[in-house]
Structure 1
Amino acid sequence: MHEGEAPTPSSSFLKRRAPDIASDERHRDHTGVDYNISADNHLLVFTDKSLRHSEFELDYQRISFLGEKVIEVSLCRLLFFEEEQMRNENMIRKRQTLLTESDIHAWASNMLGKLRYHPDAAATLTDIEVRRRLFNAYAGALYLDHGLSAVEQWLCLLVTPESGEPPFKRMRGS
Structure 2
Amino acid sequence: MSNRTPSKKFSRAKRRPFTKEELSTRFSAFQKGLDIQFQNEKLLYQAFTHSSYVNEHRKRPSDDNERLEFLGDAVLELTISQYLYKKYQNMSEGELTKLRAAIVCEPSLVIFAHHLDFGELVLLGKGEENTGGRTRPALLADVFEAFIGALYLDQGLEVVERFLTKYVYPKINEGAFSHVMDFKSQLQEFIQRENHGTLDYRIVQETGPAHNREFTSEVYLRDDRLGVGHGRSKKEAEQQAAREALKHLNSK
Matched, 1:103 2:108: yes
Matched, 1:46 2:48: yes
Structure 2: stretches of 5+ with no match in the other structure: 1-16, 20-27, 174-252
Q: Cα offset for 1:81?
A: 0.7
* TM value normalised by structure 1: 0.67
Larger radius of gyration: 2
Determine which of 33, 52, 68 is the counterpart of 1:63: 68
The answer to whether the 8 A contact 2:133-2:139 is kept is yes
Determine which of 69, 78, 88 is the counterpart of 1:73: 78
For 1:3-50, what per-residue CA distance to the aligned partner results, in whole angstroms no more than 9, with x for missing partners?
699xxxxxxxxxxxxxxx96352643xxxxx36463111221122222
Q: Cα offset for 1:138?
A: 0.2
The answer to whether the 8 A contact 1:74-1:152 is kept is yes
Distance 1:75 1:49, change over 3 A: same
The corresponding residue for 2:144 is: 135
Q: Comparing both chains, which one has the higher relative contact order based on Cα–Cα distances under 8 Å and sequence gaps of 6 or more?
A: 1
The corresponding residue for 2:179 is: none
For 1:141-169, what per-residue CA distance to the aligned partner results, in whole angstroms no more than 9, with x for missing partners?
01001111222222233333276xxxxxx
Structure 1: stretches of 5+ with no match in the other structure: 6-20, 29-33, 164-174
Q: How many residues are treated as equivalent by the alignment?
A: 142
Q: What letter corresponds to residue 125 of structure 2 in structure 1?
A: H
The answer to whether the 8 A contact 1:35-1:142 is kept is no
Distance 1:147 1:45, change over 3 A: same
Distance 1:134 1:72, change over 3 A: same
Match of 2:52, SS?
coil
Q: How does 1:18-57 map to 2 (within 5 A)?
A: 23-25=30-32, 27-28=34-35, 34=36, 36=38, 38-52=40-54, 53-57=58-62
The answer to whether the 8 A contact 1:46-1:116 is kept is yes
Matched, 1:117 2:119: no
Distance 1:35 1:25, change over 3 A: closer
Match of 2:32, SS?
coil
Q: What letter corresponds to residue 147 of structure 1 in structure 2?
A: G
Determine which of 88, 109, 128 is the counterpart of 2:93: 88
Q: d(CA) in 2 for partners of 1:71 and 1:115? A: 20
Q: Cα offset for 1:130?
A: 1.4
Match of 1:25, SS?
helix
More strand by share: 2
Q: d(CA) in 2 for partners of 1:82 and 1:71? A: 16
Q: Where do 4+ consecutive residues of structure 1 move more than 6 Å?
A: none
Distance 1:160 1:4, change over 3 A: closer
Match of 1:116, SS?
coil
The corresponding residue for 1:158 is: 167
Q: What letter corresponds to residue 53 of structure 2 in structure 1?
A: L
The answer to whether the 8 A contact 2:72-2:146 is kept is yes
Q: d(CA) in 2 for partners of 1:88 and 1:78? A: 14
